[in-house]
Amino acid sequence: MNESMLEKIKKAGVVGAGGAGFPTYVKLKCTAEYVIVNCAECEPLIKSDKYLMEQNAESIVEGLRCAMSCVSAKNGVLAIKYKNKSAVHALEAAVSGKENVSIHLLDNYYPAGDEQQIIYEVTKRTIPVGKLPSEVGCVVINAQTAYHIAQAMEDKPVVRRNVTITGAVHSPLTITAPIGTAVAYLIEMAGGATVKDYSVIIGGPLMGRVSEDPSNEFVTKTTNGIIVLPTDHELIRKKTVSLEQEYKIAKSACCQCNYCTLICPRSSLGLGVQPHKVMQALTFNNADVLIDGNAALGCCNCGLCTYVGCNMGLSPSRFISKMRSELLAKKVKSNHEPKPVNPFRDDIKVSTKRVIQRTGLTEYDIDVPYVDSYDAPRAVRIMLKQHIGAPCEPVVLEGDTVIEGQCIGQIPEKALGACVHSSINGRVVNISKDYIDIMEA
């Protein structure tokens, strides 16, 4: 374990940029045989990692090597979809001549970036449900995280990240945005919405959440995409319809065809996930079919069963997600031993193209250019909780002058968390329990 590297990563506030924001210095406090960089960027429409890899391949490989040093890994692997040819070439050039670092090409399927999928693709191992990847000798970090690790080695904290703004906007684009930039500002930068009534998904179209108030959303360390869609778009309807209403429909419409389970990528890895059983338990009030929580606990919430699997238009992923949360809250643990991987797994994989068609996103599946020259925001809102763990405690006062990269929120003592930094030069104009507002002086 390389303590000085871990300390730099902690000081820079690096978190898992592709998921829920788990603090990276904690993740790397283990030993592992493999460090895998998740370069899959599997959510449709999002291009933020693609550009990052094309433009910063050397830094990503450097970040990978640092992570390998932290966990004493013998193997470093960059797992990337073969279709991202320019990024593959950039990474190939960056790994050339470097020992123990290689590239693994992935098919263009969803969810290729799921931790279980990517570990299986690279090592042919599966993680028992409820255990960490280190259990099977692996650590997985996102491409943006690897880049931030490399920056941290130069004492540069996380103050920017790549974000794609796309969907029903006039000029979709990807930019490197200061953390804390208002989402409304970025939508304007993308030319504004093309429709009057629109909704905004923060994150990818499938796993992202529909914002309840887009005017009050700000870029965090985990914001990879901002998807604008007409409010009456089917994807928005599916994501926002109440569970009570879904339940009423499911009671009469679920025919137990089992297709949601057949298509489930976690099920095909032998992890025991069975959305049709969860639906059976709910719709027939027959909890006995579940026996334990194994049908739900291994779900990664990819949404495939809902958006592609169910021909009756039901949302098994929403029910399974609710059930999983309730089981975890009750501290129910899985006792499922991984079963052999489905020998037809490759045939079951769902292409990203099919996901795009089924979710009604074909018209938005276009080239999204990277724009490097733009008017930077004059104000930012730095959220005090952009990570798993406790919110940061402000270490500045209202009226203080701050500079870009200055730490403004620290991890509470003995808590899990990640510190936050100002992403612009300016003055602290407001501090609340949730955020710090900074305005250009």
What is the residue-wise DSSP string for 109-163? EETTTSHHHHHHHHHS--PPTTS-GGGGTEEEEEHHHHHHHHHHHTT----EEEE
Nearer to ligand SF4, 105 or 257 (CB): 257
33: which DSSP letter? S
Nearest to 227 by CA among 435, 21, 47: 47
Only one of the segments 30-38, 304-312, 354-362, 400-408 lies at the binding site for ligand SF4 (rule: CB under 6 A); that segment is 304-312
Only one of the segments 38-46, 72-80, 139-147, 272-280 lies at the binding site for ligand SF4 (rule: CB under 6 A); that segment is 272-280
Compute the least distance from the CB of residue 318 to ligand SF4, in Å: 9
Compute the least distance from the CB of residue 264 to ligand SF4, in Å: 3
How many residues at the interface with ligand SF4, by CB under 6 A? 27
Question: Among 59, 222, 317, 423, which residue sits at the site for ligand SF4 (rule: CB under 6 A)?
Answer: 317
302 counts as binding ligand SF4 under rule CB under 6 A: yes
Q: Give dist(CA 353, CA 164) in Å, integer.
A: 19
256 counts as binding ligand SF4 under rule CB under 6 A: yes
Compute the least distance from the CB of residue 235 to ligand SF4, in Å: 15
281 counts as binding ligand SF4 under rule CB under 6 A: no
316 counts as binding ligand SF4 under rule CB under 6 A: yes
User: 11-25 b/e with 16+ CB inside 10 Å = b?
Assistant: ebbbbbbbbebbbbb
Compute the least distance from the CB of residue 296 to ligand SF4, in Å: 8
In sequence order, what are the residues at sequence separation of 6 or more whose Cβ sits closer than 8 angstroms to the Cβ of residue 246?
314, 315, 318, 319
287 counts as binding ligand SF4 under rule CB under 6 A: no
Q: In Å, what is the CA distance from 351 to each residue of 48, 69, 113, 182?
A: 20, 35, 13, 33
Interaction with ligand SF4 in 388-427: which residues (CB under 6 A)?
A: none
Cβ atoms of 129 and 137 within 8 Å: the answer is no
255 counts as binding ligand SF4 under rule CB under 6 A: yes
Compute the least distance from the CB of residue 310 to ligand SF4, in Å: 3
Compute the least distance from the CB of residue 343 to ligand SF4, in Å: 19
User: 323-347 b/e with 16+ CB inside 10 Å = b?
Assistant: bbeebeeeebebebebeeeeeeeee
Nearer to ligand SF4, 235 or 314 (CB): 314
Prior bond of 128 cis (ω within 30°): no
Instruction: Give helix 48-71 / helix 143-153 axis angle, nearest 10°.
Output: 60
Compute the least distance from the CB of residue 265 to ligand SF4, in Å: 6
Question: Among 148, 266, 381, 387, which residue sits at the site for ligand SF4 (rule: CB under 6 A)?
Answer: 266
Our separate counts of H helices and E strands in the chain read 17, 18
Q: Torsions phi, psi of 138, nearest 5? A: -130, 150
183 counts as binding ligand SF4 under rule CB under 6 A: no
Q: Give dist(CA 337, CA 334) in Å, integer.
A: 9
Q: Give dist(CA 140, CA 49) in Å, integer.
A: 15
Q: What is the token pair recorded at 315?
A: 């949302």
Only one of the segments 178-186, 226-234, 252-260, 410-418 lies at the binding site for ligand SF4 (rule: CB under 6 A); that segment is 252-260
Question: Among 279, 297, 402, 436, which residue sits at the site for ligand SF4 (rule: CB under 6 A)?
Answer: 279
Question: Among 78, 112, 187, 320, which residue sits at the site for ligand SF4 (rule: CB under 6 A)?
Answer: 320
What residues make contact with ligand SF4 under the rule CB under 6 A?
254-260, 264, 266, 273, 275-276, 279, 299-305, 309-310, 312, 314, 316-317, 320
